[in-house]
Amino acid sequence: MRFRWPTRDAWRRVPSRLAYLWRTSLQVRTVAITLLLTGAAILVTGIYMALSISNDLYQSRLDQALRDSSRATTTAQSTLNASDVSSGDAGKNLLNTVLQSVQASTSSRLVAAYRVPGQDTGVLAPPDRGSPAMNSVISPDLREKVQNGGMKQYYQSVALPAGGGTDPGIVVGSQLTLPSYGKYELYIGYNLRDSENTLLFVQNTLLVAGLALVLLIGAITWVIVRFVVEPIRVAARTSERLAAGDLAVRIPERGEDVFASLARSFNGMADSLQSQINQLATLSQLQQRFVSDVSHELRTPLTTIRLAGDVIYDQREGFPPATARTAELLHTQIERFDRLLSDLLEISRYDAGSVVLDAEPTNLVRLAEECVDELRTVAEQNGSELVLDAPGGYFDVPMDPRRIRRVVRNLLGNAIEHGEGRPVVVTVDSNESAVALTVRDFGIGMSAQDTGHVFDRFWRADPSRKRTLGGTGLGLAISLEDATLHSGWLQVWSSPGAGSCFRLTLPRVAGREITASPLSLAPTEDGTGVPQGSDAATGSEAHA
């Protein structure tokens, strides 16, 4: 991956990203805090050490300078006292000699002598002997002190010009007395460049050592926190995977420390979870298998009964009336039993998750037409007219036609059964994301409480009502499963006295999410027609 210089936006996001790291990473937080605290501690220690070393260095150098200068001054004074000169040139020479010896004995090239002002000028005294480096740095304040201080030593920190810049230095001043010439101020300058260098070196060393120490501590903290955090991280990851359904996952158990015991108890928990889930899964599988097996086992005797029933039913003309009616009842109930068994099997297939969608391009309008034609006779027997209204939906949509036909037939059957002989309107329409079909009846409708239960298995709106079409009580439950299998919706609206409306919505493209259904569920004023006096607001909807 090529490195890309972060854009301004990226820079702007840096603080928030750091804040995110701070919040989310224990490791980052711990290391940052450790670095901050140790850094502060080392900084304080380092500053203290640097200051005390610099003080110490300066003090010792000062002491040395004072001793040195005192010795040199004493020697010079005694040389002067011992000499006996009174003429002009001799005095000048004498001062030169003395200053040279001072220069030699103090190893300082910076020596200056000034005649203390205010003395008798009549004497031909030797003139000032300054040095260019010293003249500028000796302050009037120091000079005044030396002039009035007698034999005492005075000193001053100065910046000695050296090369292009300045060096730190000390100037020590005292008085010299030239016999018969008068008093002179003697100044000796000491360059502290060496000490300054030593100090800089020490400070640099301290700085480097401090930084190295901070980094080292940071690294150590990082490693230690990693040691501690890593097992926690493993535990977190493992529990995530466990929660996601990977029941076999475990934390590796190593050693005998607290993490090993964490791992052991976690694994114990996972074991018991796994065994319980497996047990439940086995139970549920067993139950589904049992339902499926029972259904299958029932089929062979049912086939025999059905064949026998049909043979008897075919000959009912020749029976006495009671027997003939018995044959008829036998026949219809065997058929009902047959349907019940198929529905039970279908539901058990859904429960077992063994249902596969066998989709092929199908035209929902054509499918609705076929279903309407199929059930027209039954509807007419119940006095209901079946009306198909299809403003849209004339194109192929991937669906399992067998299942969708079953859903539509089932919705139609329910509408006819509960339609009270009023028309049943089937509407098909489409939008950009879905096709939908509604089956609207104007029968007795259902209360809100009942509406919430229509998709329940074996649920009946009114147990006392007769069932003319002999539904199994599983029809809507299966229809709902069928719709869900297509990633579709099956919804109901119902209002007592106003009838019901069931809406099936299927995605136009398999697996694509439906944004909105093309048909409205609750009746609108200009829509499928609301019976007089009904109020749509009292209707209740159930979404599945």
Partner 1 sequence: MTSRILVVDDDTALAEMIGIVLRTEGFDPVFCEDGAQALEVFRSSKPDLVLLDLMLPGLDGIEVCDRIRAESGTPIIMLTAKSDTADVVKGLESGADDYMVKPFNPKELVARIRTRLRPAPASPPSDELTVGDLIVDVAGHEVRRGDARIALTPLEFDLLLALASKPQQVFTREMLLEQVWGYHYKADTRLVNVHVQRLRAKVEQDPDNPKIVMTVRGVGYRAGAAA
Q: Is 236 an interacting residue with respect to partner 1 (CB under 8 A)? A: no
Q: From CA 453, how far away is CA 460, in angstroms rounded? A: 9
Q: Which of 19, 26, 273, 307 binds partner 1 (CB under 8 A)?
A: 307
Alpha-carbon gap, residue 105 to 70, rounded angstroms: 11
State in angstroms the smallest separation of the CB of 424 from partner 1.
Answer: 23
For residue 215, state whether it binds partner 1 (rule: CB under 8 A).
no
Spatial CA neighbour of 115 closest among 182, 55, 57, 208: 182
The yes or no reply on residue 329 touching partner 1 (CB under 8 A) is no
Q: Which amino acid is at 79?
A: T
328 binds partner 1 (CB under 8 A): no
Residue 510 sits in the site that holds partner 1 (CB under 8 A):
no
Stretch that binds partner 1, among 57-65, 203-211, 230-238, 306-314 (CB under 8 A): 306-314
Residue type, 20: Y
Fill in the DSSP letter of residue 328.
H
Minimum CB distance to partner 1 smaller for 68 or for 370: 370
Cβ contacts of residue 429 below 8 Å, gap of 6+? 390, 391, 392, 393, 435, 436, 518, 519
Nearer to partner 1 among residue 185 and residue 400 (C-beta): 400
The answer to whether 508 contacts partner 1 (rule: CB under 8 A) is: no
Q: How far lies 69's CA from each of 309, 372, 491, in Å?
A: 140, 127, 109
Task: Return all residues near 49 (Cβ < 8 A) that are at least 6 apart.
Answer: 206
Least distance (Å) between residue 386 CB and partner 1: 20
Q: Does 311 bind partner 1 (CB under 8 A)?
A: yes
Rounded CA-CA distance 292/359 in Å is: 24
Q: Build a one-symbol-per-residue string for 399-428: x at contacts with partner 1 by CB under 8 A, - elsewhere.
A: --xx--x-----------------------
Judged by CB under 8 A, the residue of 226, 254, 264, 296 near partner 1 is 296
Q: Which is nearer to partner 1, 284 or 303 (CB)?
A: 303
Q: Find out whether 235 and 246 touch, Cβ atoms under 8 Å.
A: no
Q: How many helices (H) and strands (E) does the chain have?
A: 12, 12
Nearer to partner 1 by C-beta: 240 or 297? 297
Closest to 499 (Cα-Cα) out of 427, 436, 421, 431: 421
Least distance to partner 1, CB of residue 342, Å: 9
Which listed residue (308, 329, 387, 509) binds partner 1 by CB under 8 A? 308
3-state secondary structure 170-194: EEEEEEEEECCCEEEEEEEEEECHH
Q: Which is nearer to partner 1, 183 or 349 (CB)?
A: 349
Of 59 and 304, nearer to partner 1 (C-beta) is 304
In the complex, the smallest distance separating the C-beta of residue 451 from partner 1, rounded to whole angstroms, is 32
CA distance 209 to 220: 16
Stretch that binds partner 1, among 13-21, 249-257, 300-308, 443-451 (CB under 8 A): 300-308
- Of 83-91, 248-256, 301-309, 517-525, the window that binds partner 1 (rule: CB under 8 A) is 301-309
Query: Closest separation between CB of residue 529 and partner 1, Å?
Result: 33
Q: Which stretch binds partner 1 (CB under 8 A): 35-43, 215-223, 298-306, 500-508?
A: 298-306
300 near partner 1, rule: CB under 8 A? yes
**Scanning residues 23 to 52, which ones bind partner 1 (CB under 8 A)?**
none
Dihedral sign (CA 9, 11, 15, 19): positive
* Nearest one of 413, 421, 400 to 357, comparing CA atoms: 400
Longest CA span, the chain: 179
The pattern of x and - marking residues 346 through 385 that bind partner 1 according to CB under 8 A reads ---x----x------x------------------------
70: CB partners within 8 A, 6+ apart? 153, 174
Cα gap 140→154, rounded to integer Å: 12
Pick the stretch among 295-303, 458-466, 492-500, 535-543 that binds partner 1 (CB under 8 A).
295-303
Name the residue among 228, 217, 212 with its Cα closest to residue 33. 217
H or E segment at 396? Answer: strand 396-399
Backbone angles phi, psi at 175, to 5 degrees: -100, 145
Q: Output the smallest distance, CB 261 to partner 1, in A.
A: 50
Instruction: State which residue, 222 or 319, has the beta carbon closest to partner 1.
Output: 319
Give the interface size with partner 1 as a residue count (CB under 8 A).
22
Residues contributing to the site for partner 1 (CB under 8 A): 296-297, 299-308, 310-311, 338, 341, 349, 354, 361, 401-402, 405
